[in-house]
A and B are shown apart, each in its own frame.
Chain A
Amino acid sequence: MRVLRRHSALLFLAGLLLLLPLVLPNNFYYDIVIRMAINAIIVLGLNLLIGFAGQISLGHAGFIGIGAYASAIFPTHFGWHPLVAMAAGAAIASAIAAILARPIFRLKGHYLAMATLGLGIIIAIVIKNEAAYTGGPDGMPVAALGLMGFEISGEKQWYWVLAALLLFSFWAARNLIDSPFGRALRALHGSEVASQVMGVDVVRYKVAIFVLSAFFASLMGSVTAHYIGFVTPNIADFFHSIELVTMVVIGGMASIYGSLIGAILLTALPQALSTFEGWETVAFGSILMLCMIFMPRGLVPTLTARFRPNEREDP
C-alpha cells in the first residue's frame, strides 16, 4: 500500500504518457509534446536550484548550449559516437559548473544573478564566434542519434524516448527532495545559519545542485540537438535562460508538479496564442504579468494552499 501511495503520481504520469498518443492527431502535436517534455526535464533541474535551494541561475541556457554543440561538433568534426559526445558534453558542462560554482556561490541575491548571467552570455558568445567549429550564427547540422544500429528518427520514436526520460526525471527529482540531501538543500534555503549549525556544508550543497542542474541541462541540450537535427546559437542565448526561469516561477517555485505545469503551459501558450496574429507577444506578456500579480507563488503552490491550507505539497 505504502509503495502504491508513494508512486501514485508517478503511475498517473506514466498512464498519461502511455495514453497520450491515442489522442495526438499528427506530428505537429507530437512535436509540441516533445518540446514540453524537454523543457519540463530542464525546468525540474532548474527548480531544484532556484525553488528548493533558493539560488538563481540566469545562464542555464549556456549549459544547454554546451550539450547541444557537443553533440553537433564531436561526431561531425572528430567522428565520435553521438552517445560519447553527449556524455562528453555533460562532463564539460558539469566541470565548468563545478569550477565556477565555488566563487559564484559566495555571492548572494542580485550579485549571484549577475554572475550566472555573465556565465551564460560568455558561453553564448564563444559558440557564436568559434565559427570554424560551430558554424557561427548560422548554426550547424547534427548527426542522428544511433544506438546499436538503430537510429531514433521521427516524432513518434522521439516521443517514447522523452516520455521515458521525463518519467525518470520526475521520479528522481521527487526522490531527491525527500532525502537527506534534499532536506539539507531546502533547509539552507529556509535558514542558512540554522542548516550550518545542523552540520550542512552550505557551499558544497549549493555547488552540488548547480552541477546537477547543469548536467541535466546539457543532456537535454544534446537530446534537443539530435531531435531537431540542427543547432543554432539561439539555444544558448539569454532569452532561452529567461524563458526557463519563467517556467519555474509561473509553475511554482519549490514544486515538482509546478515544474511540469510551468513547462507545459509556457511551451503551449505561444502556439495557442498564434491566432492573435502579431499580438501574440503582447498577449503572452500580459498573461505572465497577471499570473505574477495574482499568483506570485506560482500556479501549483497557490492552488495547493487554497485547498490544503496547512499542508505542503507531498514531495
Chain B
Amino acid sequence: MALLEVDNLSKAFGGVTAVQNVSFAVDRGLVYSVIGPNGAGKTTLFNLITGVYTPTEGDIRLDGRSIAGVAPHQLASQGMARTFQNLQICMNMTALENVMVGAHLQLDRNLVKAMLRFPGLARRDRELKDRARELMGFVGLGGYWNRAANSMPYGALKRLEIARALAAKPQILFLDEPAAGLNSKDTAEIDELVRKVADNDVTVVLVEHDMKMVMNISDRILVLDYGKKLTEGTAREVRENPDVIAAYLGSNA
C-alpha cells in the first residue's frame, strides 16, 4: 500500500477551482515532486494535504487512514511534517529552539511540571538539545545553534526549517520550494540534503521550480496545470511528454 494516497481531490475558493480532481499515490521512501507553471495549484495541494485547507471534495489517506480536513496540529502526531514556501521560522527564538519546537509532540507539555521544572522533564529537554544539535549538523548548520533566528542569513533559515521538520521524526516530509531564492551553489547543497533525508527512510514530497534539481533527485514527478493533473511519471517520462512541454512553453511552440 502506498504511504500517501490522494483521491479525486478538489478545492474551490468561491468560483475559482484551484485544485480539481487530482489523484496520485506516493510510495514509501521515494522523493516525489510536484511541478507545474505558476498558479497551477501546487501550494494549494500542499496546504490541503497538510491540513491548512479543508478539501471541497475528495479524500486523502496517510497509511490507509483518511486525513482529509484533519487540523494541522493533529496531523503532526501521524508523522507528517512540512516546510513553507515563504519562511515560517519563529524569529523570536534561537535556531536551536526552533528545532526543539519540532519535537513538541515527543515531550511532556504539562504546564505545572514545566513551572516547577520536574527532573524528568529537564532531563528530556537536555537530551533533546543534543539531538537538535545533531540535526542542525545534519542539515549543515553546525555553527549556528546558539544564534538568534532573526540574525541568520536566508539560505541558513531554509535549512533550519528542514531541521525543525526532521525533529518531529516524520515518516513523510513536505518541502514547499526548499530552493526558492537560493543561488546555484546553495541549491546544489539542498539537492544533496533532500537526497540524504530520503536515504534516512523519510518519504519526501517536494514542490520546486528549479527543474534541474527536480529532474536530478525525483523518483517520480506529478505535473499540475490549471489545478488539474497533467501527467505523472519518472523524470524521463515527464520530460518527454508533449503536454508538459506545451504547458510550460505554450501550445504553439
Contacts and interface: CB of A to CB of B under 8 A. Distances in A.
A190 B111 contact: no
Interface string A109-137: 00000000000000000000000000000
Contact of A312 (B82, B93, B101): B93
Given A183-B101, A197-B72, 19 more contacts: A178-B125, A179-B114, A179-B121, A179-B125, A180-B107, A181-B109, A181-B114, A183-B104, A186-B90, A187-B90, A189-B92, A190-B91, A190-B93, A194-B84, A197-B51, A197-B52, A197-B82, A199-B168, A200-B104
Contact of B76 (A189, A197, A254): A197
Contact of A193 (B88, B97, B111, B149): B88
B71 A199 contact: no
Interface residues of B, number: 46
Contacts of B89: 190-191, 194
B94 interface: yes
Given A179-B117, A197-B76, A197-B82, A186 B92 contact: yes
Contact of A198 (B94, B104, B108, B117): B104
A138 interface: no
20 contacts: A175-B117, A176-B114, A180-B121, A181-B114, A183-B104, A184-B109, A187-B90, A187-B93, A190-B89, A191-B89, A193-B84, A195-B90, A196-B71, A197-B52, A197-B75, A198-B73, A199-B73, A199-B104, A199-B168, A200-B73
A309 interface: yes
B45 interface: no
Contact of A191 (B52, B90, B94): B90
A76 B90 CA distance: 50
Contact of B110 (A181, A186, A190, A312): A181
Interface in B68-96: 71-77, 81-82, 84, 88-94
B90 A196 contact: no
A296 interface: no
A152 to B, nearest CB: 25
Contacts of A212: 111
Contact of A199 (B76, B92, B148): B76
A91 to B, nearest CB: 15
B161 to A, nearest CB: 8
A194 B84 CA distance: 8
B115 interface: yes
A310 interface: yes
Nearest to A178: B125
A190 B121 contact: no
Interface residues of A, number: 34
Contact of A254 (B81, B92, B109, B168): B92
B147 interface: yes
Contact of B88 (A194, A254, A312): A194
Contacts of B102: 198
A180 B129 CA distance: 11
Interface of A: 54, 172-173, 175-176, 178-184, 186-187, 189-191, 193-202, 208, 212, 254, 309-312
Contacts of A312: 93-94, 148
B105 interface: yes
B68 to A, nearest CB: 17
Contact of B114 (A182, A189, A195, A198): A182
Given A187-B90, A194-B84, A194-B89, A181 B117 contact: no
A191 B151 CA distance: 17
A200 B72 CA distance: 9
A187 B82 contact: no
B228 interface: no
Nearest to B115: A172
A200 B111 CA distance: 14
Contacts of B149: 190
A311 B88 contact: no
B110 to A, nearest CB: 7
Contacts of B74: 199
Contact of A180 (B75, B76, B91, B125): B125
B58 to A, nearest CB: 21
B116 interface: yes
Contacts of B146: 311
Contacts of B51: 197
A198 B121 contact: no
Contacts of A173: 115
